[in-house]
Amino acid sequence: MSYTDQVITSLKKNVASFEKRVDVSEVGTVIEVGDGIARMDGLDKCQALEMLEFPGGIFGIALNLEEETVGAIILGDFKKIKEGDSVKRTGRIMSIPVGEAMIGRVVNSLGEAVDGRGKIKTETLYPLERVAPGVITREPVNRPLQTGIKAIDALIPIGRGQRELIIGDRQTGKTAVAIDAIINQKGQNVICVYVAVGQKESKVARVVAKLKEAGAMEYTTVFIAGASEPAPMSYLAPYAGVSLAEYFADKGKDVLIIYDDLTKQAWAYREMSLLLRRPPGREAYPGDVFYLHSRLLERACNLNKEHGGGSITALPIIETQAGDISAYIPTNVISITDGQIFLETELFYRGIRPALNVGLSVSRVGGSAQIKPMKKVAGSMKLALAQFRELEAFAQFSSDLDPETKKQIERGRRITELLKQPQYSPMPVASQVMIIYAVNNGFFDSTEISAITEKQNAFVEFMSSAKSALLDKISAGEWNEETEKTIASSCEEFFTK
Amino acid sequence: MRKLLPRHFGKMLYQLTRDLPEKELDQAVAEFVKFMARHRAFRRLDRIIAAYEVYAREQDGAEDITLVSARPLPEALAAKVVSHFGRGGKIETIVDETLIGGLIVKTRRRVLDASVKTQLRGLKNDMLAD
């Protein structure tokens, strides 16, 4: 049958089966509108989070169901709405389109494309608000999610299904850590979602350009609620991102989602709540600001085999002011997540980048999220670093110290230098294991601090070219006496030539 | 304090004056005017009176109705439609040729859309869904 005939057949079928229907909709009247919020009279049977249709095709979400009025946030230009306008119930709870077609695209909080590449065709809708998977559907986190950053993969390992907070002052490299984690997922069968909340659009454009350059947009979706958009879009963006992540996790895929950042989502929610006249609490945040983040982050999970075996790993970002991690929102999110990566301004300006404060950072999943070789070597390095931190204050008196203490200080300095890593240069886990093994066993002790980076790069190149089979074994998680002997001999071969 | 809308004032006035003997009416209205003064509601007087009338009609089982049609509706047909929504309410008829045919009935709380324009949009959506 030709295409024309197919179209004609379809038309005839639709016209023949068409049934007249009367569209019955419940309506209300706008009695107050402004600052992205509208208050309506009527809408007696309106549900919480139901989508409402304003004139001009603008949508809103009902948030406040009061005795005689409904308060709603407007997802669009509120200046086009006036008092007396008619508002219609749609009967749909807020949901976004999800599907494979979203991968590689930049979208807003409603799932609409904003990258100029045309409309996204999807067939499925997922609700923005969804109850998190229960205890029975989950299994413990036991598979690593490699970020490619040595300091994190060795000392603060992240597993698939974990929530690990990235927290620090402005300009400490929080987004850089997140982007490196996304770039390192290339070839790892992990889908990535980056949610930009209240960010400068120029910054997001740079991030997208970098992801494209690294080939990461092939498996990444970017949600953007820019700084110029109304507060409700910033409030919804993280939920939209996790809804897409759940779509893939339900199909058994592993997903990495980054919320950059939740501080701005909390600000947007505070703004909305104050305009909706909800009672302000501490720091003028509404009373349910904890629930705002807890219900979002609880949706990250590691599903068991019976439920598809997929996972959602969440890396929320929180910006602190003057390093105060005991403030309201930071403490809330720290108590929700399974660990935090604390980035310090002082370390950043001392040239230690990523500026990780290893003492304050933790991963509550720990070794369960590491492959066996990494678990074997990382412990010694962590101990050496901890000892170095204790002795660091004495470093300025190095000429007066005993040889053992001097050795610990020198070892600590070398480890600190080795843990530095340039941006956009994630390192495979096997190379990381080799470097850590080498430093633990003193192979770098004779190298000057200033030459450490060069030596490390040369060592990695040597291993990649001459010992690729060994690297493959390490990547596969193999660790036994024979592997250890081979690693040792490889290190001797390189460092003694 | 919650902002009082014209509808609230209208409802108050209705409940204050319902079934009141005529000789007490002046006193009741005077009290109501004082209440309005305390809430600085005089500039909304027109809307309060309109809201009172709407509320009063609703309490009597009548609804204000707007009929939108593609062509002017014969009176008998309009009356037949309105009779399904109670008696005594205000009836407004609007001609909107873009509907092509059929009728839209709007009350305060509902919109019943049986216009040809909406039927065709539904048909279009069904076809696109295929």
What is the average pLDDT across B67-78? Answer: 88
Nearest to B5 among A24, A25, A31 (CB): A31
Q: Which of A18, A37, A54, A121 to mutate to test the interface with B (most CBs of B within 10 A)?
A: A18
| A348 residue type, one letter | F
Average pLDDT, chain A: 92
| B82 residue type, one letter | V
CB < 8 Å to A21, chain B = 119, 122
How many structural domains compose chain B? 2
What is residue A415's predicted lDDT score, i.e. its pLDDT?
A: 94
Whether the pLDDT of residue A197 is over 90: the answer is: yes
What is residue A448's predicted lDDT score, i.e. its pLDDT?
A: 92
Shortest Cα distance, chain A CAs vs residue B20, angstroms: 27
Average pLDDT, chain B: 85
**Which residues, 6+ apart, have CB-to-CB distance to A114 below 8 Å?**
A106, A107, A108, A224
Q: What percent of chain B has pLDDT over 70?
A: 94
Q: How confident is the model at residue A145 (pLDDT cuts 50, 70, 90)?
A: very high
CB < 8 Å to B109, chain A = 26-28, 42, 44
What is residue B130's predicted lDDT score, i.e. its pLDDT?
A: 59
Query: What does DSSP assign to residue A303?
Result: B
Question: Is the Cβ pair B123, A15 closer than 8 Å?
Answer: yes
Exposure string for A352-369, b = 16+ CB within 10 A, e = fewer: bbbbbbbeebbbbbbbbb
**Has residue B120 been placed in a domain?**
yes
Q: Specify whether the backbone of A56 is left (phi greater than 0), alpha (psi in -120 to 50) or beta.
A: left
Structure tokens at A234: 């910033």
What is residue A38's predicted lDDT score, i.e. its pLDDT?
A: 93
Cα separation, A148 vs A186, in Å, equals 11
DSSP string, A7-61: HHHHHHHHHHH-----EEEEEEEEEEEETTEEEEEE-TTPPTTEEEE-GGG-EEE
Q: In what order do the strands lie in the sheet with A311-319?
A: A106-107, A220-225, A190-197, A254-260, A311-319, A165-168, A339-343, A362-363
What is residue B126's predicted lDDT score, i.e. its pLDDT?
A: 73
Decide the pairing of beta strands A311-319 and A254-260.
parallel
Question: Is the Cβ pair A23, B7 closer than 8 Å?
Answer: no
| A54 residue type, one letter | F
Phi and psi angles of residue A108, each rounded to the nearest 5 degrees, phi first: -95, -175
**Has residue B16 been placed in a domain?**
yes
Question: Is the Cβ pair A42, B109 closer than 8 Å?
Answer: yes
| A484 residue type, one letter | E
List pLDDT tens digits, range A442-493.
Answer: 999 999 999 999 999 999 999 999 889 999 999 999 899 999 999 999 999 9
What is the average pLDDT across A357-376? Answer: 91
Q: How confident is the model at residue A4 (pLDDT cuts 50, 70, 90)?
A: confident
Cα separation, A249 vs A186, in Å, equals 18
What is residue B54's predicted lDDT score, i.e. its pLDDT?
A: 83
Q: Please state the separation of Cα A428 from the chain's center in Å.
A: 20
What is residue B120's predicted lDDT score, i.e. its pLDDT?
A: 85
Residue A295 among the catalytic residues: no
What is residue A341's predicted lDDT score, i.e. its pLDDT?
A: 97
CATH 2.40.30.20 domain span(s) along chain A: 26-93
Contact present, A416 and A175 (Cβ < 8 Å): no
Class of CATH domain A374-496: mainly alpha
Q: How far is CA A185 from CA A1, A294, A295, A340, in A?
A: 46, 26, 26, 20
Q: Which of A14, A90, A124 to mutate to test the interface with B (most CBs of B within 10 A)?
A: A14
Q: How confident is the model at residue B7 (pLDDT cuts 50, 70, 90)?
A: confident
3-state helix, strand, coil in chain B (%, to 5): 55, 15, 30
What is the average pLDDT across A164-171? Answer: 96
Q: How far is CA A238 from CA A101, A182, A264, A315, A329, in A?
A: 19, 17, 11, 12, 16
What is residue B20's predicted lDDT score, i.e. its pLDDT?
A: 86
With vertex at residue A61, the alpha carbon angle to CA A55 and CA A67, rounded to the nearest 5 degrees, is 100
Neighbour-count burial of A233, counting CB atoms closer than 10 A to its CB (0-12 exposed, 13-18 middle, 19+ buried): buried
Contact present, A39 and A31 (Cβ < 8 Å): yes
Q: How far is CA A38 from CA A33, A139, A193, A253, in A?
A: 4, 43, 31, 40
Question: Is the Cβ pair B114, A31 closer than 8 Å?
Answer: no
Bridge partners for A255 per DSSP: A191, A312
Question: Is the Cβ pair B113, A26 closer than 8 Å?
Answer: no
Q: How far is CA A434 from CA A393, A443, A483, in A?
A: 30, 11, 11
Whether the pLDDT of residue B2 is over 80: the answer is: no
Question: Is the Cβ pair B111, A11 closer than 8 Å?
Answer: no
Residue B100's domain comprises 65-129
Whether the pLDDT of residue A144 is over 80: the answer is: yes
Contact present, A182 and A216 (Cβ < 8 Å): yes
Secondary structure (3-state) at A274: helix
Question: Is the Cβ pair A10, B127 closer than 8 Å?
Answer: yes
CB < 8 Å to A64, chain B = none
CATH 3.40.50.300 domain span(s) along chain A: 97-370
Q: How confident is the model at residue A399 (pLDDT cuts 50, 70, 90)?
A: low
**Around Cβ A196, how many Cβ atoms within 10 Å?**
27
Structure tokens at A293: 């983040």
Residue A170 annotated in ligand binding: yes
What is the average pLDDT across A121-132? Answer: 92
**Has residue B1 been placed in a domain?**
no
Whether the pLDDT of residue A397 is over 70: the answer is: no
Secondary structure (3-state) at A252: coil
Whether the pLDDT of residue B85 is over 80: the answer is: no
What is residue A171's predicted lDDT score, i.e. its pLDDT?
A: 95
Q: How confident is the model at residue B3 (pLDDT cuts 50, 70, 90)?
A: confident
**Least confident range of A134-138, A244-248, A397-401:** A397-401
Nearest to B130 among A14, A22, A25 (CB): A14
Q: For A148-210, what is the HEC assignment?
A: CCHHHHHHCCCECCCECEEEECCCCCHHHHHHHHHHCCCCCCEEEEEEEECCCHHHHHHHHHH
What is residue A106's predicted lDDT score, i.e. its pLDDT?
A: 97
Q: Which of A18, A19, A21, A22 to mutate to test the interface with B (most CBs of B within 10 A)?
A: A22
Q: What percent of chain A has pLDDT over 70?
A: 99
Specify the residue for token string 């709405």: A81
Same structural domain, B53 and B73: no
**Has residue B73 been placed in a domain?**
yes
Catalytic residue, chosen from A143, A364, A389, A413, is A364
Q: How confident is the model at residue B87 (pLDDT cuts 50, 70, 90)?
A: low
List pLDDT tens digits, range A267-324.
Answer: 999 999 999 989 999 999 999 999 999 999 999 999 999 999 999 999 999 999 999 9
Question: Is the Cβ pair A27, B126 closer than 8 Å?
Answer: no
**Around Cβ B90, how many Cβ atoms within 10 Å?**
12
What is residue A240's predicted lDDT score, i.e. its pLDDT?
A: 97
**Least confident range of A189-193, A233-237, B73-77:** B73-77
- Dihedral (C-alpha) A133, A139, A141, A146: value to the nearest 10 degrees? -80
Query: What does DSSP assign to residue A453?
Result: H
Whether the pLDDT of residue A8 is over 90: the answer is: no
The CATH number fitting domain A26-93, selected from 3.30.565.10, 3.40.50.300, 2.40.30.20, 3.50.50.60: 2.40.30.20
What is the average pLDDT across A6-17? Answer: 80
Nearest to A24 among B7, B110, B126 (CB): B110
* Helix pair A452-466, A429-440: axis angle to 10 deg: 120
Whether the pLDDT of residue B1 is over 60: the answer is: no
Q: How far is CA A427 from CA A180, A412, A433, A457, in A?
A: 10, 21, 10, 11
A19 near B CB under 8 A: no
What is the average pLDDT across A370-395? Answer: 88
Secondary structure (3-state) at A447: coil
What is the average pLDDT across A227-231? Answer: 92
A131 near B CB under 8 A: no
Decide the pairing of beta strands A23-34 and A37-42.
antiparallel
Q: What is the CATH number of domain A97-370?
A: 3.40.50.300
Phi and psi angles of residue B8, each rounded to the nearest 5 degrees, phi first: -65, -45
